[in-house]
Structure 1
Amino acid sequence: MTHIALYRAWRPQTFQDMVGQQHIIQTLQNAIREQRIAHAYLFNGPRGTGKTTAAKIMAKAVNCVHGPAVEPCNECDACRGITAGHLMDVIEIDAASNRGIDEIRDIREKVRYAPSEVRYKVYIIDEVHMLTSEAFNALLKTLEEPPGHVIFILATTEPHKLPATIISRCQRFDFRQVSLPEQTSRLLEICEDEHIDADEDAIQYIARLSEGGMRDAISLLEQVSAFGGSRITLEGAVEVTGGLAADQFYELAEAVKDRNVGQALPLVEKLMQAGKSADKCMENLIYYFRDLLVLKLAPSSGAMTERVVDEGRFRAMADAFSADRLFRLIDTLNRYQTEMKHALQPQTLFEVALMKLCADSGEAVEASRVEAAAASAAAGVPSGEVQRLRQQVDALERKLEQLAQSGTAVQGGQAAPAPSGGASARGGAQRSAISSRGGAFGSGGGMMRAAVKLEPFLAAANSQDTSRIRAKWGEVLHRVKEAKITVHAWLVDGEPVSSADGTVLVAFKNTMHRETTEKPANREIIERVMQEVLGAPYKLATTLMKEWHAAPSGAAKDQSGSGEPFQLQPEDPGGASEASRPPWVEEAVKLFGEDLVVIKDEH
C-alpha cells in the first residue's frame, strides 16, 4: 500500500478502533445496548480527536442490519453505504459552508419524511458553531421535538459559541486530547503493519507535535515517511516538520544563559537561512524552556521532551538557570509569540525577543535577595523573630495611616481624644512628629515623602516641556508595562500635570495608587523609563488630584494639603518626656531605635 493512503486506511471503522475516548465509547455503547438512543448529541473537543468519526460509527451502529448493535458489522449494505458516504438517509453537513437559514429550513422540511433505506435518518452537522444566529433559531424547534426516526449529531471545536438553548437540548460529550503514550502506541502499530522502520524517539517527536490529535499524528507520520522512505529517524522528522534539532536548542539556550546577544543573533540568521519559520522557532524555544523548568521543579516526573537526546547535557542546562529566571523567560517569549501573529517582520520580533532574554536583569535582583537573606542568617536573626517584627511594623503602619486620615493620636487602634481647650490656652498644644533621616513616617507604609512645593509646578503647568511629556506619556506607560506590569497598574491611575526643574509631577486620583507608585523599587523603574523615553533624566514627584486642583486657590501648599509638615498629636500635651510618650511612639522607638525616631516639640 502506498503511504499517501495511510490516514484513510487507518481511520477507525468501529468504536473499538478509536483511541483515547473510552469514556465516550462506553457511554454510547451502553445507550445502544439498552435502547436509550437520544434524539440529539453534541460532540465537542480539540481537532483530530475523532468527533466526526465517532458520529459516523454511531450512524452505522444504529442502522446496521444486525443491530442496533454496539459495534457495526461494516459488511452489510447500510454500513458500507455510510462508510462510502452515498447512503441518502445519513447526511453529513459542513456548517462552515452551509451556515445560513435556508439550509436549516431545508433540513426542517426533510426530517418529516421517514428514512427510505435504513432504521434512522441521521444528520451530522460538522463545525456547528459556524451557523448564524438565525440558523440556530430555525434549528431550535426541530432539536426540541424531532420525529422519532431522526438523530442529530452536532460536532464542534468551539462549544462556547453555541447558544445555551441548543446545548441544553443535546447530550454533550467532551472529546479529550489523545495521550502521548496512546498516540505513540498507535503510530508504532501503523509502522509495523505498513512495514515502516521507525525510531521510537522519532515517533514520540511526531506524537508531541500533533498536540493530542490522532488525525494530525497520522498525517505527520505519512509526511515524514514520504520524506525518509523506508526509515524514519528523529533527524528526518525534525527536518521535514520545520522543528529545531537538540543542538540548536542547546546553542540558543546557552546564548541566553550567558546573555550573549552576539552569539544569539547569528544563530537566528542561520535558522532562517535553513528555512525555519520564526513562529515555529519561538514555539519550540518555549517548549524547551518549559521542559527545563519541569526538570528543575519536578526532576522525578519524567515529563521531559522527547526531542532531547543528550539527557546529561539537558540536566546541566537546567541547573544553569534559576526557576525564577525560567519563569520570566517563558513569560517574555509567550508575550512576543502573541504579538508575532500580527507582525509584518516575524524574524525581527524573534530577534528582539532573544535580545530581551539576554538583557534580563531579574537575576541581579534575585542575587541581592539571596545575599540579604544570607546576611540576616549570618547576623543570627531567627526567621520567626523577623516575621514578628514585620507584623509589628504592619500594625504601626496601620495606626499611622489612621492618624494621617483623622489628624489625632492613635492608641490601641482607637483615636485618642483631642487636647482640651485649657491645654491650648497654655501657650498652644504641644505636638510631636516622628521623623527620620530623610522624612517622617507616613500612611501606607514606608517613609513619608518630603513635602512637594506646588508653586513651581503651577507656574510650569502650561510650559513646552510639560506639553512634550504629556504627549509622550502613553509611551512611558507602555514601556513601564513591559518592564513590570504591576507598576503600570498603579501608575496608569496618575496623570502628568506639570514638569519643573527636571521633575515630573504626577497627580493621582487614589491615595493607595499614589503611595504604591512612590515605593523606591517602583519609582526607580518609572524614572529609568522616563529617562529612556524623554531623553533626559527626570525625577518623579506625586500629589493627589484634588490637591492639585485646589492649589491655585491656595488650598494645597504642599503634599499634605497644608503649609505645615505632617505632625502627630501626643496624648499628653504637657511635655515630650519619655514617660509621657504615647504607646505607639514607644513601639516605633522599639522597632527603629532612638537614632531613627525623634520627638519634636513645636510651640
Structure 2
Amino acid sequence: MEHIALYRAWRPQSFQDMVGQQHIIRTLQNAIREQRLSHAYLFSGPRGTGKTSAAKILAKAVNCEEGPAPEPCNECDSCRRITAGAVMDVLEIDAASNRGVEEIRDLREKVKYAPTEVRQKVYIIDEVHMLTTEAFNALLKTLEEPPPHVMFILATTEPHRLPATVISRCQRFDFRRVSLEEQSERLRLICEQEGITAEDEAIQYIARLSDGGMRDALSILDQIASFSDGHVSYKQALDMTGGIPSKQFAEIAKTLVEGDIGGMLQLIEGLMQEGKSADKCMENLLYYFRDLLMIKMVPNADKMTERVLDSQEFKEMAELFTRSQLFRIIDTLNHYQIEMKYALQPQTLFEVALLKLCSIPQSEDAVPSQSVSSAASAIADSSGGQSEVQQLRRQLAELEKKLERALQGGLTSGGQGAAQKGGRSSARTAAPRVASKVKIPAGIDRYVAQRSSPEFLAVQGKWNQVLQGVKDEKITIHAWFVNGEPVSVLEDAVLVAFKNDIHRETTEKPANKQLIEMVMERVLGSPYRLVTMMLKDWSDSIEGAAVDPSKEEPFQLEQVAEDGSSGSKEPWVDEALQMFGDDLVVVKE
C-alpha cells in the first residue's frame, strides 16, 4: 500500500482532533449550536497551525446530514465526499495561483447559483493575501453581502497584507503556535498508533524545532522515522536535522569563561566538520545564552522557555557569568548574526565573534576590584593612555570651575534678604541683578581690547566648525545659536554678540549653554566659557573705547562708613569697584 505522509494521514477531521486552538474551536462550535454563523471568516496565523483544516471541518459541520452539528459525523455521504474533495459546492481555491481579477469575477458569477449537492456553498480561499488589489476590489461587494447559501472562509499567514476593507467584513480568528506540551502529547499519540518508538528527548527536540507548527513537527518525525527504521533517538534527531546538543553549547560557554582561544577554535572546527552551518550555530548559541540570562534573572524561568531540558545544568552554568557579561555576550552575538546575513564567509564571522567573547569575562572581573586611582593607572599604562588621563584632568578642572561659579551664584542669590538692610551687603546683592538687566558682561573694556587678539582670530577661524558641531548635536540649539557671532576672546571666555534678545536668552539656558561649551572644547582644543551680550551694546562699547580716556573725568567713589551708610547714590557701583578695582572701573553719565 502506498505510504501517505504523516501530516496528511493525521490531518484533523473533526474539531476535537485539532491541537492548541481551543479558543477558536469553542467559538465556532457555539456559533453552529446557536445558529449564529457568519457569512465570512478570516483565519490567520503561522504555518501548520490548522487554518485550512479548521476551514474544511467547518464546511463539513454546516453540511453534515446529521446537522448542522458542533462536530461533523465523518460517516455520512456529505462528510466523506467533502473530506475527499469531491463536492463541487465546497471549493478550495489557491489564491497564489488564482490571484487575478478575472478569476474573482468568475467566482462572483458562480456564487449566485444555489448549491446542488449539499446544504450550503463554502468557498475556502487559501493564502488570500496573494490576491491583487483589483481582485480584492472585485471581491468586496460579494464578500459583504453574499447570497444566503454562501459562506466564505479566507486563510492567510500574513493578515497585515489584506486591505482593511476586507478584514472589516469578516470575523477574524487568530491561530496561535502550538505549545511544546501539546505538540509532544500529540507526537507521542501518533508514534503509538504508527508503531514508532521514540525517546522523550527526541520528541521534545522535534517539537522545539517545529517552532509551534504541527505540520512541521509531523514532517520532521516522518523523516527521522524513515532514517532510523522506526526508532527515533535524540542523537539521530540531531544528526538528521543538523542540530547541536546543549552539551556542546555548555562546552563553548565554559571555554568562554576560561578564555581559552585555542580550545574555542577547536570547538568551532569540530562543529564545522560535523556539517553544521555557521548561521545556525550562531542562532542556537544566541538562544542558549538568552536562556542562561532568563534563568539567572527570573525565578522558575525554566518554565518560560521551551529549550531548557535540564534546568539544574543551566542554573550551574548561569552561575559562571554575571548579568553584565551575559548582556554583552548576547549583544555581540546579535551584532555578528546581522553581519553574517551579508557575509561571503559566515564561518569567519562566527569565529571572530566567539574569539572576541573570550576576552569579556577577564576584563569585567578585573574592573570592580580596582579603585579609581588604579583604574587611572591602568589607563595610563596602556597605549595612548596618557592623552586620556590629560583629557580627564581637563574635564575635571572645568567641572570644578563650573561648581565654583554655581556656588558663588547660590551664595549671591541667598543673600538677597540682607540687601534690604542697607550697607555693604546691599551693594553685593544688587550688583549682579543690575548687571543681568544691562546684559553687559563684567570687564567689557578688556573684551574690547582683545577683539583683535591672535586668540580671537584663531577662534573666529574655527567658528563654522563650532556651529556645525552644535548642529550635529542638536539642531534646535543651532537654530538659536547661529544668530550670534563671536566678537572677542578673554582668557577662557568667548564673547558672542546677538542681534535678537530671544535668541540670546535661549542660548543662555543652562542645558543649551553646557552643550555649546562642550562643542567649543572639542573643536577649539581647550575648555572655554560662553559669554553673551547684545550686538548693539557691543557696538556702543567699541564707540566708547574710541574716545580718549584721558579726557574722561574719573568717577570718585566714597567708602562705606562703619554704620553701613554709603556715600554713593548707586550701591552697585561700590560692588563693581570692589570686584574689579579702581583701574578697571570707569563710570559714565
TM-score, length basis structure 2: 0.66
1:102 aligns with 2:102: yes
Offset, 1:211: 1.3
Label 1:261 to 1:517 Cα distance change in 2 as closer, same or farther (>3 A): farther
CA contact (8 A) 1:336 1:350 kept: yes
Label 1:210 to 1:494 Cα distance change in 2 as closer, same or farther (>3 A): farther
Between structures 1 and 2, the one with greater helix share: 2
Distance in 2 (alpha carbons) for counterparts of 1:292 and 1:102? 55
Which of 515, 520, 524 is the equivalent residue of 1:543?
520
SS at match of 2:520: strand
SS at match of 1:72: coil
Offset, 1:512: 5.3
Residue 327 (structure 1) aligns with: 327
Residue 355 (structure 1) aligns with: 355
CA contact (8 A) 2:81 2:87 kept: yes
Distance in 2 (alpha carbons) for counterparts of 1:348 and 1:293? 26
* CA deviation map 1:366-409 (0-9, x unaligned): 86458779xxxxxxxxxxxxxxxxxxxxxxx9xx89x99xx998
Letter in structure 1 aligned against 2:17: D
Label 1:562 to 1:161 Cα distance change in 2 as closer, same or farther (>3 A): same
CA contact (8 A) 1:3 1:222 kept: no
Offset, 1:63: 1.2
Letter in structure 2 aligned against 1:37: L
Distance in 1 (alpha carbons) for counterparts of 2:36 and 2:417? 72
Residue 270 (structure 1) aligns with: 270
* CA deviation map 1:150-172 (0-9, x unaligned): 11111112222222221111111
* CA deviation map 1:43-82 (0-9, x unaligned): 1112111111101111111111221111112222322222
Distance in 1 (alpha carbons) for counterparts of 2:327 and 2:513? 29
* CA deviation map 1:284-323 (0-9, x unaligned): 1112112212222235343387766666543322110112
Q: How many residues align?
A: 454
Label 1:304 to 1:175 Cα distance change in 2 as closer, same or farther (>3 A): closer
1:283 aligns with 2:260: no
Distance in 2 (alpha carbons) for counterparts of 1:214 and 1:492? 53
Matches within 5 A, 1:407-426: 411=413
CA contact (8 A) 2:197 2:231 kept: yes
Label 1:195 to 1:513 Cα distance change in 2 as closer, same or farther (>3 A): farther
* CA deviation map 1:487-508 (0-9, x unaligned): xx9699999xxxxxxxxxxxxx
Distance in 1 (alpha carbons) for counterparts of 2:521 and 2:138? 57
CA contact (8 A) 2:13 2:57 kept: yes
Residue 34 (structure 1) aligns with: 34
Distance in 2 (alpha carbons) for counterparts of 1:199 and 1:2? 27
Residue 529 (structure 2) aligns with: 560
Residue 197 (structure 1) aligns with: 197
1:76 aligns with 2:76: yes
Larger Rg: 2
Offset, 1:9: 1.3
Distance in 1 (alpha carbons) for counterparts of 2:161 and 2:6? 33
Residue 245 (structure 1) aligns with: 245
CA contact (8 A) 2:108 2:139 kept: yes
Distance in 1 (alpha carbons) for counterparts of 2:238 and 2:230? 17
1:229 aligns with 2:229: yes
- Segments of structure 2 that go 5 or more residues without pairing to the other structure are 373-398, 434-454, 479-506, 534-558, 561-577, 582-589
Distance in 2 (alpha carbons) for counterparts of 1:353 and 1:513? 40
Distance in 1 (alpha carbons) for counterparts of 2:417 and 2:52? 71
Letter in structure 2 aligned against 1:201: E
CA contact (8 A) 1:90 1:121 kept: yes
Label 1:411 to 1:517 Cα distance change in 2 as closer, same or farther (>3 A): closer
Offset, 1:180: 0.9
Distance in 2 (alpha carbons) for counterparts of 1:253 and 1:4? 43
Residue 158 (structure 1) aligns with: 158
* CA deviation map 1:455-499 (0-9, x unaligned): 54665799xxx9xxx9xx9xxxxxxxxxxxxxxx9699999xxxx
Q: Identity rate of aligned residues, in percent?
A: 60
1:184 aligns with 2:184: yes
Distance in 2 (alpha carbons) for counterparts of 1:216 and 1:48? 7
Residue 19 (structure 2) aligns with: 19
Offset, 1:327: 2.4
Letter in structure 1 aligned against 2:170: C
Q: Which has the higher contact order (CA 8 A, sep 6+)?
A: 1
Offset, 1:344: 2.9
Distance in 2 (alpha carbons) for counterparts of 1:513 and 1:209? 54
Residue 342 (structure 2) aligns with: 342
Residue 500 (structure 1) aligns with: none
Residue 138 (structure 1) aligns with: 138
Offset, 1:179: 1.1
Offset, 1:279: 1.7
- Segments of structure 1 that go 5 or more residues without pairing to the other structure are 374-396, 432-452, 474-488, 496-508, 519-540, 552-556, 565-573, 576-599
Label 1:75 to 1:269 Cα distance change in 2 as closer, same or farther (>3 A): same
SS at match of 1:41: strand
CA contact (8 A) 2:5 2:219 kept: no
TM-score, length basis structure 1: 0.65
Label 1:306 to 1:38 Cα distance change in 2 as closer, same or farther (>3 A): closer
CA contact (8 A) 1:92 1:126 kept: yes
Offset, 1:256: 2.3
Distance in 2 (alpha carbons) for counterparts of 1:257 and 1:159? 45
Distance in 2 (alpha carbons) for counterparts of 1:28 and 1:14? 12
Offset, 1:96: 2.5
CA contact (8 A) 1:511 1:544 kept: no
* CA deviation map 1:400-458 (0-9, x unaligned): 89x99xx998848x9999xx9x99999x9589xxxxxxxxxxxxxxxxxxxxx775466
1:294 aligns with 2:294: yes
* The 10-residue stretch of structure 1 (21-30 or 247-256) with the greater mean CA deviation from structure 2: 247-256
Distance in 2 (alpha carbons) for counterparts of 1:195 and 1:148? 47
Distance in 1 (alpha carbons) for counterparts of 2:474 and 2:275? 43
Residue 380 (structure 2) aligns with: none
Label 1:98 to 1:80 Cα distance change in 2 as closer, same or farther (>3 A): same
Label 1:274 to 1:369 Cα distance change in 2 as closer, same or farther (>3 A): same
Residue 490 (structure 2) aligns with: none
Distance in 2 (alpha carbons) for counterparts of 1:192 and 1:155? 32
1:59 aligns with 2:64: no
Label 1:311 to 1:24 Cα distance change in 2 as closer, same or farther (>3 A): closer
SS at match of 2:41: strand
Distance in 2 (alpha carbons) for counterparts of 1:163 and 1:54? 23
SS at match of 2:122: strand
CA contact (8 A) 2:210 2:217 kept: yes
Distance in 2 (alpha carbons) for counterparts of 1:226 and 1:184? 19
